[in-house]
Amino acid sequence: MKEINRYRHKKILVLGLAKSGVGAASLLHKLGAFVTVNDFKPLAENPEAQGLLEQGITVICGGHPTELLEEGFELIVKNPGIPYHNPMIKGAEEKGIPVITEVELAYQVSEAPFIAITGTNGKTTTTTLAFEMLQAGSKKPLIAGNIGTVASEVVQEAAEENNIVIELSSFQLMGIQEFRPRIAILTNLYDAHLDYHGTREEYHAAKANITMNQTSNDYFIVNADQPEVMEVAAGSKAKIIPFSPTKELSEGAYVKDGWIYFNGEKVMERKDVALPGSHNLENILSSVAAAKLTGVENQAIISVLGTFAGVKHRLQYVGEYQSRKFYNDSKATNILATKNALSAFSDPIILLAGGLDRGNSFDELIPSLKRVKALVTFGQTAEKIGKAALEAGIKTIECVDNVEKAVPSALKLSEPGDIILLSPACASWDQYKTFEVRGDMFIDAVHKLK
């Protein structure tokens, strides 16, 4: 970790805890800052805040009092989940107090370069694949961000020879200033999180921040099949490395005659890739590009792609019961992710879907639902998804209270040879704290059948 003095004796407010807030507060404390932590959850119910208090950090819990902004803070490190229309953030902006997210702080002290991955879908799979390829290639990677230890903790152990592979959300990228990954990946861009960003333009602009500080010495790996992504690439100063699962490219990663190529070189045969689903080709190609740019040999890439069957909660194979195969795709928190999941199977599907109502319709899902034999819905969007299913011609639709009850209902509606797939097309927050909790509930319910 770099020893920096820019925060020594500076008054800094960490707004919102969870893992990123705890990591940021602890790091700033080590850097000699006068840290105050403010979290909405009461102290008695807040073990994270209690732990920071024991470190000698000032902690204010139970709300976000705007009068805190009168205490002369020179910087705010914001939890990514707190929206920019929050009164504390609006007040900070009016006072000219800079607001960053934890990943920016981590970058400022990191000795290791970053390989940063963002996009609407495929971030977690791409991040995991890139990490495992670098690990197989002896490139000393460390994984950070949304699927690992928070970056502000990882950087404290990282050295120049390491590579920090990090998944980044649009929420995190809105709070960067200097963050500059050596390699950035933009998997794809669709409409998402509009309840947070307000417009698709703001959402796309947040994703584009991943390359805003890159130079001609850096690489930006982009989806050549998406005009929206290529529009972002056109504004980047980095060396553009395209990938495409549908067409041959003069450079970058692509598929030709059943082979995966990078810069005209055969890497491995497509049929030897273990990960199911044609949509996963985007994730495979972008991670192959990152690995090759880092100097990973083909054999290491082949060993990973030949055995990697997916990450937990993303088309995760749970098991078989009474000749039905169960798949957990709880991370499918938007319509496109569910469309991709449905396209991965040729056998009849019993779909489990529903969750947080963000105000959108599910008309876009109708063509993909024609592949579905029966539907079990739950959550706030149960009625909306059921309506889309009727329009798709699905005759068997059941509505239940939650995922746990959806599993035995799906079993009753199924026949031997069917796929029972949890792919909600919605966020989990109406009933579950995270999509991971929702997925774990599904897994538990499947095991209870047995």
The CATH number that applies at residue 354 is 3.90.190.20
Query: How many residues belong to the chain?
Result: 450
Is the residue at 191 inside a domain? yes
Is the residue at 286 inside a domain? yes
Residue 120 assigned as binding residue: yes
- What lies within 8 Å, CB to CB, of 287 at 6+ separation is 126, 129, 130, 133, 185
Q: Are residues 31 and 148 in the same domain?
A: no
Residue 333 assigned as binding residue: no
Residue 252 pLDDT: 98
Q: Are residues 285 and 322 in the same domain?
A: no
Q: Report the half-sphere exposure of 379 (CA within 13 A, side-chain side).
A: 26
Q: Are residues 386 and 420 in the same domain?
A: yes
User: Among 48, 71, 100, where does a domain finish?
Assistant: 100
CATH number at residue 203: 3.40.1190.10
Is the residue at 1 inside a domain? no
Residue 192 pLDDT: 57
Is the residue at 255 inside a domain? yes
Residue 266 assigned as binding residue: no
- 165 with 141: CB under 8 angstroms? yes
Q: Are residues 159 and 265 in the same domain?
A: yes
Phi and psi at 448, nearest 5°, equal: -65, -30
In this structure, what token pair is assigned to residue 164?
């920090």
Q: Are residues 272 and 335 in the same domain?
A: no
The whole-angstrom separation of Cα 126 and Cα 146 is 13
Q: Report how far apart the first and last C-alpha atoms of the chain are (Å, whole number).
A: 49
The whole-angstrom separation of Cα 448 and Cα 446 is 5
Residue 425 pLDDT: 97
Q: Are residues 281 and 217 in the same domain?
A: yes
Please tell me the total count of domains within the chain: 3
Residues 333-367 have pLDDT tens digits of: 999 899 989 988 889 999 999 999 988 899 999 99
Q: Are residues 375 and 432 in the same domain?
A: yes
Residue 125 assigned as binding residue: yes
Residue 198 pLDDT: 63
Is the residue at 6 inside a domain? no
User: What is the domain range of residue 320?
Assistant: 316-449
Q: Are residues 116 and 193 in the same domain?
A: yes
Q: Are residues 151 and 236 in the same domain?
A: yes
Segments of the chain with pLDDT less than 50: none
Residue 217 assigned as binding residue: no
Q: Are residues 64 and 176 in the same domain?
A: no
pTM of the model: 0.80
Residue 198 assigned as binding residue: no
Is the residue at 36 inside a domain? yes
Residue 124 assigned as binding residue: yes
Residue 236 pLDDT: 98
Residues 369-402 have pLDDT tens digits of: 988 999 999 999 999 999 999 999 999 999 999 9
Distances (CA, A) of 46 to 39, 49, 355, 433: 9, 5, 27, 16
Report which of 369, 405, 407, 413 is spatially closest to residue 387, judged by C-alpha positions: 369
User: Among 32, 66, 100, where does a domain finish?
Assistant: 100
Residue 312 pLDDT: 83
User: Among 72, 100, 128, where does a domain finish?
Assistant: 100
Is the residue at 28 inside a domain? yes
Q: Are residues 111 and 56 in the same domain?
A: no
Q: Are residues 29 and 88 in the same domain?
A: yes
Is the residue at 230 inside a domain? yes
